[in-house]
Amino acid sequence: MQSKNILNRKKRTRWGEKPYYSLDYYLKEQFGQKVYKVTLDAGMSCPNRDGTLDTRGCIFCSNGGSGEFAIPYAGEESIAMQIEKAIAFLNSRQKYTGKAYIAYLQSFSNTYAPIEKLQRIYHEILKHPKIAGLSIGTRPDCFSKEIYDLLKECNQKKPVWIELGLQTIHEKTAEFIRRGYSLSVFEECIRNLKKRKISVIVHIILGLPGESEQDILQSVDYLNRQNIDGIKFQLLHILKGTDLAKMLPELTLYTQDEYISLLLKCITRLSPDIVIHRMTGDGSKELLLAPDWSQNKRSVLNQIAHTMKEQNIYQGKDL
């Protein structure tokens, strides 16, 4: 029993002070210092918006393409100026933000543009002296061989991550939320990215209408079998102007305790090698309709940390 307890303690402390593989720990490993994300809007669109697949977007996606916290796209203004604005905004909100940043292209699908435009944007970001890496939010159906090869070239200059919005592995739910691509497209995209040694981060949403706890845990089990590097757990929250908002009276949303209980089950099932980039959602207060408790992100994170400690929970414990 004593040797088992020692083994469990080693597992819990393999990521420093936290019982899971946190983004903060990974960034310090990778870059040797504290690194913050600055969020940018590169003026992209999406096949779910421009009529290629649909014009309405996914049912949970806001008019800003889920980029409410991004520095707005300013047409011909240089990306370098956007980066400086984003850093200044971050500095205005936090006492110390370090000297290195990850540029995060968040709004809409940031591989969905002509190759010349993508090349110009990516190169301008990566040559900025304060940028340590580039994280690109997109969809797995927005790639071509030329784009994969461009990403490989960029990744040889500074680290490049691709963030894919999977949300769920269940086709019935994917159809309901209007995701617009199949699981096979997602898997092919991962193969192409990993062939070029590009890091992959996957977003999943906890609490999509019609999904049970078992459905969500199956999505986590599936991702353990894929060659991914990071995950973002996203609380389903309802934003103004979305089609999901029209369904709000009929929806049953998680309480804070219910969400945290489910999240921790996901974490105990998650491979210890996958970095956890996010544990909850924090939609813009101006747009958030529900759940109200998600606005107090600090309270949610504190309860997660407290519960993990009290219940001896750590990432991969039940894998």
How far, in Å, CA of 66 to CA of 89, rounded? 19
- Are 190 and 228 a contacting pair, CB within 8 Å? yes
For residue 204, pLDDT over 90 is answered with yes
Residue 269, amino acid: R
pLDDT in tens, 300-314: 999 999 999 999 999
Is it the case that residue 2 has pLDDT exceeding 50?
Answer: no
- The Cα-based distances of 190 to 21, 174, 186, 206 in angstroms read 21, 18, 6, 22
Residue 22 has pLDDT above 60, yes or no: yes
State residue 66's pLDDT score: 60
pLDDT of residue 151: 98
- What integer pLDDT is reported at residue 79 of this predicted model? 87
What's the CA gap between 213 and 207, in Å, rounded?
A: 8
Between CA 51 and CA 29 the distance in angstroms is: 42
**Structural element, H or E, at residue 36:** strand 35-40
Instruction: Spell out the alpha helix ranges (H) of the chain.
Output: 2-12, 23-31, 79-93, 115-126, 145-155, 171-176, 183-195, 213-224, 243-246, 256-269, 297-310
List beta partners, residue 137: 163
Nearest to 290 by CA among 33, 60, 131: 60
What domains can you pick out in the chain, each with its CATH number? 2-310 (3.80.30.30)
How far is the C-alpha of 236 from the C-alpha of 230, rounded, in Å?
Answer: 19
Q: Which two tokens stand for residue 65?
A: 């393409």
Report the chain's mean pLDDT, rounded to a whole number: 91
105 backbone dihedrals φ, ψ, rounded to 5°: -85, 105
**DSSP letter string, 248-266:** GGG--PPPHHHHHHHHHHH
The answer to whether the beta carbons of residues 223 and 181 sit under 8 Å apart is no
CA distance 263 to 205: 11
Give pLDDT tens digits for 45-74: 999 999 999 999 999 988 765 656 677 777
Predicted local confidence at residue 65, as pLDDT:
57
